[in-house]
């Protein structure tokens, strides 16, 4: 079972290239800060603009630093099933603990198409697979019924749910069972998500607040609801600021304020606007991340 705070890692760039040194230092910092798991080359890692060579290299760099100390869930999705199989095979070969596979974007597959896509990947690669359901980016929304069909496949073990529908985790739990891992993809709704049967979060905010995010989940697991509520409330301005523009622009700027990397993104993402920079910095000060 994957649970707690997993960081959807940014991919640092320098002069247009992956900054391998900064990335590996960032991974080590995350682990030292108590993050429960790491997710390289997801949406926050700018996977759409990484070449396949870069994508695979970033996964390898993450696993190399982690050395088995925390689970690694490697992004391996694509809107081409064959391409997703290739990336998932690499994730297994590199030593990832699981693969995160997004619902195919742009193609707009039917529910049957979604089922067959994941069925094919699961049959091709013996690695735990987490479905990534994010209708806001991929347009399609996997139904609970389709997910229940897929959950019968042994190595399809969970979902990253970015629907922001707080009825969904409970409906999924009732349909599939408590052992099907449910990780939120929405930082701001994590309290409701956990209360409705979720197990953790694949977080953007934990890129810059890893200890606070990990402590939030620690408090939930120990049923220290006063501490949980305190941290939840404290983090809310940060969650809002991290999505004031398209992610990962704001979180990369936030990481640059901490000296972890540059705020460089790849086109078509542009540097965030001056007003957004003020908003991010203000939120980080309110949370206590900047002196």
Task: Give catalytic residues, as residue numbers.
Answer: 132, 160
Q: What is the 3-state secondary structure (H, E, C) of the chain?
A: CCCEEEEECCCCEECCEECHHHHHHHHHHHHHCCCCEEECCCCCCCHHHCCHHHHHHHHHHHHHHHCCCCCEEEECCCCCHHHHHHHHHHHHHHCCCEEEEECCCCCCCCHHHHHHHHHHHHHHCCCCEEEEECHHHHCCCCCHHHHHHHHCCCCEEEEEECCCCCCHHHHHHHHHCCCCEEEECCHHHHHHHHHCCCCEEEECHHHCCHHHHHHHHHHHHCCCHHHHHHHHHHHHHHHHHCCCCCCCHHHHHHHHHCCCCCCCCCCCCCCCCHHHHHHHHHHHHHHCCCC
Alpha carbon 92 to chain centroid, angstroms: 18
Alpha-carbon separation of residue 192 from 162, 171, 239 (angstroms): 13, 13, 15
153, 147 in Cβ contact below 8 A?
Answer: no
């Amino acid at each position: 079972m994957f649970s707690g705070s997993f960081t959807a890692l940014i991919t640092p760039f320098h002069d247009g290239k992956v900054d391998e040194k900064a990335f590996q230092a960032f991974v080590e910092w995350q682990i030292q800060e108590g993050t429960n798991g790491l997710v390289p080359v997801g949406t926050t890692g700018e996977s759409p603009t990484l070449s396949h060579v870069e994508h695979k290299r970033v996964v390898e760099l993450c696993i190399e630093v982690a050395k088995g100390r925390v689970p690694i869930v490697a992004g391996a999705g694509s809107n081409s099933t064959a391409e997703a199989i290739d990336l998932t095979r690499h994730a297994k070969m590199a030593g990832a603990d699981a693969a995160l596979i997004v619902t195919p974007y742009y193609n707009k597959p039917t529910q049957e198409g979604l089922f067959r896509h994941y069925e094919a990947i699961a049959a091709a690669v013996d690695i735990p697979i987490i479905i990534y359901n994010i209708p806001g980016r991929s347009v399609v929304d996997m139904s609970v019924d389709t997910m229940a069909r897929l959950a019968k496949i042994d190595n399809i073990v969970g979902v990253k749910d970015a629907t922001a529908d707080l009825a969904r985790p409970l409906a999924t739990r009732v349909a599939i069972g408590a052992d099907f891992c449910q990780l939120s993809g929405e930082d701001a709704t994590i309290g409701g998500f956990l209360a409705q049967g979720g197990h953790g979060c694949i977080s953007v905010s934990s890129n810059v607040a890893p200890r606070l995010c990990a402590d939030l989940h620690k408090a939930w697991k120990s049923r220290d609801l006063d501490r949980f509520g305190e941290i939840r409330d404290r983090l809310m301005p940060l969650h809002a600021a991290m999505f004031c523009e398209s992610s990962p622009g704001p979180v990369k700027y936030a990481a640059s304020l901490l000296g972890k990397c540059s705020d460089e993104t790849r086109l078509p993402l542009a540097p965030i606007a001056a007003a957004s920079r003020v908003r991010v910095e203000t939120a980080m000060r309110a949370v206590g991340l900047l002196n």
